Homo-oligomer: A and B are copies of this chain.
Amino acid sequence: MAESRRTGAPGGAKRDTYTPETLLAVAVEVFLERGYDGTSMEHLSRAAGISKSSIYHHVRGKEELLHRAVSRALDGLFGVLDEPAARTGRAVDRLEAVARGTTEVLMAELPYVTLLLRVRGNTETERWAMERRRDFDARVAALLKEAVADGDLRADVDVRLATRLLFGMINSIAEWYRPRAGNAHDDAEVAGAVVTLAFAGLRT
């Protein structure tokens, strides 16, 4: 999905084929390159190859584009928590499903999740996104705590610290993973490695 959007956006699309969807993909690329604060409507207009007034036809401004972009990432991440594997069964297995699913969403929605991870809180949208990220982390931490109480996860690592390290590992994938571009690892291998390393450890 992310692929078709990306290929459709910067080079190929003509003015009249622009949709809020393709405009969003271009905007996210520019935000990632220049930073959200450093991006003007002029930059977006040049990158999209359409006039500023055409952009205003689709959105009220750049903050709306940011909101849509991080919403897409957040919808993907919260969607993982709603999947059956994350809702039923032992807490430790649900936690594994969440770790795997989060990794898969990060890879499938790479630019959107990368943007979400860089959000720092200068605008209302950014503060809202950070709040939603904290909600997500809190739900995962609660799952981890439950799994420790079940006796399925070790009690000698602090729950908050374990949550941070687990997501630190997952989020770091955004720094080197690139879809298609001769990637040495496929998505299932990466998600599997995360789960193996975090839950079973590297030692035999």
Contact = CB atoms under 8 A, between A and B. Distances in A.
Interface string A121-159: 000000000000000000000001000000111101110
Interface stretch (A24-32, A43-51, A164-172): A164-172
Contact of A202 (B153, B160, B175, B185): B153
Instruction: State how many copies of this chain the complex holds.
Output: 2
A203 B162 contact: no
Nearest to A155: B204
A64 B204 CA distance: 45
A167 B197 CA distance: 12
A175 B169 CA distance: 12
A157 B196 contact: yes
Contacts of A162: 193, 197, 202
Contacts of A158: 184-185, 189, 193
B199 A203 contact: yes
A164 B176 contact: yes
In this complex, the interface size class of chain A, counting residues with CB under 8 Å from chain B, is: 35 or more
Contacts of A152: 203-204
A138 to B, nearest CB: 15
Contact of A154 (B151, B167, B169, B204): B204
Given A153-B202, A160-B184, A168-B168, 17 more contacts: A151-B204, A154-B203, A157-B196, A157-B197, A158-B185, A158-B193, A161-B189, A164-B176, A165-B172, A165-B194, A167-B172, A168-B169, A168-B172, A169-B169, A171-B172, A199-B202, A201-B201
